[in-house]
Chains A and B, each alone.
Chain A
Amino acid sequence: MTMPEGWLTQLPAPAGTLEPVQRRGRLALSEHSFPSRRQESWRLTDLKRLEALFQLSLADQRSDCSNVESWPSVPALALRLVIDGTQDPLRGVTLPAGISVLEGAELQQALGHTLSRCRCASDWPVELNHGVSQQILALRIRGKVPPIELVMVADDSRLVPTRVLLLVEEKSEFDFLQVVSAKGQAAHSHLLEIHLGQESKVNHGLLALGDGREALLANLAVEQETRSHYSLVSVSQGWSFGRLEPRVVQVDGQASASIHGLSVTAADEQFAVHTAVRFEGPEGTLDQVQKTIAADRSHSIFNGAIQVPRPAQRTNASQLSRSLLLSGRARIDAKPELEIVADDVRCTHGATVSQLQEDQLFYLRSRGITHSSAAALLLRGYCKEVLDLLPLDASQRWLGGSLQVGGVNP
């Protein structure tokens, strides 16, 4: 399997702010081989679906954001930005005090820094984004600023590359919700870098909703300085092919991170969540819960790496992966990876794969609730624990409070 001949050369010539990055990405794509199932991180991936991305057209000069009317209104004070890979998301927008655009030498200095610290700059999906991204949304956050809701859309068999960089200065506080939506067999290639300065706080939500036949490649690189707090809540559903890769590095320790994820797959979807958290200094913490629900013939993958090298004494990390397998034709792969060298650490992790709990079902049934309603209720509760954590009231506004999960088929 490879990239189709001539695919790189038909791309628009490198230009603009991202010109050097585009050159770098295209060189890497031409020199490095296409991902192979012999590589551990791609072993379970349906590479045909990755290859299918090359059949999509790259963003053209469309101007309309098709279904803006159907979007929920933005909460008071919050700023909504929209990116579709072509329009400038800041056109006609007045940025509130504390949020400014990062440009010129500052931007060039910051660009890619967090990717390198997270050791993912040369990952294939990142190089793909390098190669095709035409623009970047780069913001500096200073102080307590209003929340941002960033809506990213793709439709019409297009591959929409998006790149975002957030420089969160020390002691700043920021709520950030990304809504990634796609329809019409489109695909997203998304690359996000967030740098958290000392004592800053970022509350990050990612709500990724496909329509069943779309693809999502999302790489999130997060760099935390001391005493910063980073929270990520990701919810994904409806992607024929998806790969969400959050990577967090705590560069000098003493930072805290919490990562909560929910991925729901149905039909013949394949969705993979690869998280990696690396503690490079002492006294860092991590609280991670990843939930997955696999129905029908779908395939859900979770791979969670935690690295605690020697300087990371007194790290406290916990990771829990809970998977629900709802159908006899679905498949779940869960693979935690813990690598620990420091001795004074507390690391726990756990993983469960099962269907809905028999004792919970019985308890509900003994109160007169039918098997199928009980199952639906339990599934809703299972999802709600993650949904409720999304910032900007996203669960209520975008989902009406719950996800529809079908396919209970024991």
Chain B
Amino acid sequence: MIRPDAEPLLEINDLHASVEDKPILKGVNLEVKAGEIHAVMGRNGSGKSTLSKVLAGHPAYQVTSGSVRYLGRDLLELEPEERSRLGVFLGFQYPIEIPGVSNLEFLRVSTNARREKQGKEEFDTFDFDDHVRDRLQVVQMDPAFLERSVNEGFSGGEKKRNEILQMALLDPVVAILDETDSGLDIDALRIVAGGVNQLASPDNCTLLITHYQRLLDEITPDYVHVMGAGRILRTGGSELALELEKTGYDWVDQQLAAEGVA
């Protein structure tokens, strides 16, 4: 939903970032306002996953220049846990398995950390149990998954649902979903997309990172951005995604070649 007077939630300005001294992001500019859904598309290696990791504060990525403002404050100076508590959520492309750590406990500790920041009352174990069972319906997940270790032995689809469940619990302001559609069959994709749609509101925003159209059949973005060589090369409406579906990414190479980048 595009509203010209909406508050900007995330402002990325000329962002450069490296991993192991290798520059990946080379000047990303992006503004996301409340109520908007943005899709960031591009081939593997275009820098889209790096962008999501940098926004979440992964220690392996160094920001070399540029800025990211979140609700008017400097996002980059915050620790990863601070970002989460303030409402920045990253749905992982490959959710991490943590043997021995109970999924339920993990969800409770992280939810309470966010609620404390929001000035809400923390859940005790019983209230949380009720709360989480309620939120499970967003992703149609079997409560049995709560009793298992975090993501351990989950199928690809179950891991992604567990990510969206976390999103439902953490009530983010900015939700960044990194390749949430990868490895999902069509039913799982619908469930995950349905969850994202339910959680979208005029007060938050969503950044979908994907390289397929099929997720966008389920979630209609307000803006589509195409990344290549660490920058956003084109921005358009949802029709741009459909165009990409037909024409592919070859024009990206041509454009980059013309600029002498690739």
**Residues of A in contact with B (beta carbons under 8 Å apart):** 357-360, 362-371, 373-374, 377-378, 380-385
Q: Are A381 and B98 in contact (CB under 8 A)?
A: yes
B57 close to A (CB within 8 Å)? yes
**Which of the residues B83, B95, B105 comes within 8 Å of A363, measured between beta carbons?**
B95
The contact string, 1 if C-beta is below 8 Å from chain A, for chain B 137-149, is: 0000000000001
What residues of A have a CB within 8 angstroms of the CB of B58 in the complex? 362
Give, as a whole number of angstroms, the nearest-CB distance from B81 to chain A. Answer: 4
What residues of A have a CB within 8 angstroms of the CB of B166 in the complex? 367
B79 close to A (CB within 8 Å)? yes
Knowing A365-B80, A367-B166 are in contact, say whether A359-B96 is a contact too (CB < 8 A): yes
What residues of B have a CB within 8 angstroms of the CB of A370 in the complex? 81, 113
B238 close to A (CB within 8 Å)? no
B4 close to A (CB within 8 Å)? no
**Residues of B in contact with A (beta carbons under 8 Å apart):** 56-60, 79-81, 83-85, 90, 92, 95-96, 98-102, 105-106, 109-110, 113-114, 117, 149-150, 166, 170
What residues of A have a CB within 8 angstroms of the CB of B109 in the complex? 369, 373, 377
Q: Are B170 and A367 in contact (CB under 8 A)?
A: yes
Q: Residue among B80, B83, B84, B150 with the most chain A CB within 10 A?
A: B80
Question: What residue in chain A is nearest B79 (Cβ atoms)?
Answer: A365
**Complex Cα gap A374–B90 (Å):** 17
Q: Are B81 and A365 in contact (CB under 8 A)?
A: yes
**Which of the residues B57, B92, B100 comes within 8 Å of A380, measured between beta carbons?**
B100
What residues of A have a CB within 8 angstroms of the CB of B100 in the complex? 380-385
Q: Are B59 and A362 in contact (CB under 8 A)?
A: yes
Q: Are B84 and A380 in contact (CB under 8 A)?
A: no
**Complex Cα gap A363–B60 (Å):** 13
Knowing A365-B84, A368-B85 are in contact, say whether A360-B90 is a contact too (CB < 8 A): no
What residues of B have a CB within 8 angstroms of the CB of A374 in the complex? 81
Q: Are A360 and B96 in contact (CB under 8 A)?
A: yes
**Which of the residues B57, B60, B102, B106 comes within 8 Å of A367, measured between beta carbons?**
B106
Q: Are A366 and B80 in contact (CB under 8 A)?
A: yes
**Complex Cα gap A369–B106 (Å):** 9
Give, as a whole number of angstroms, the nearest-CB distance from A187 to chain B. Answer: 32
Question: What residue in chain A is nearest B116 (Cβ atoms)?
Answer: A368
**Complex Cα gap A363–B117 (Å):** 19
What residues of A have a CB within 8 angstroms of the CB of B95 in the complex? 363
Question: What residue in chain A is nearest B115 (Cβ atoms)?
Answer: A368
Can you list 30 A-B pairs with a CB-CB distance of less than 8 A? A360-B98, A362-B59, A363-B96, A364-B98, A365-B79, A365-B80, A367-B81, A367-B106, A367-B113, A367-B170, A368-B84, A368-B85, A368-B114, A368-B117, A369-B109, A369-B110, A371-B79, A371-B81, A373-B109, A377-B105, A377-B106, A377-B109, A378-B98, A381-B98, A381-B100, A381-B102, A381-B149, A381-B150, A382-B100, A385-B99
**Complex Cα gap A264–B101 (Å):** 18
Of all A-B residue pairs in the complex, the 9 with the closest CB atoms, nearest first, are A381-B100, A381-B101, A367-B110, A368-B113, A368-B84, A365-B80, A363-B96, A385-B100, A365-B81
What residues of B have a CB within 8 angstroms of the CB of A366 in the complex? 56-57, 80-81, 83-84, 90, 92
**Complex Cα gap A384–B102 (Å):** 10
**Complex Cα gap A370–B116 (Å):** 13
Give, as a whole number of angstroms, the nearest-CB distance from A62 to chain B. Answer: 40
Give, as a whole number of angstroms, the nearest-CB distance from A235 to chain B. Answer: 14
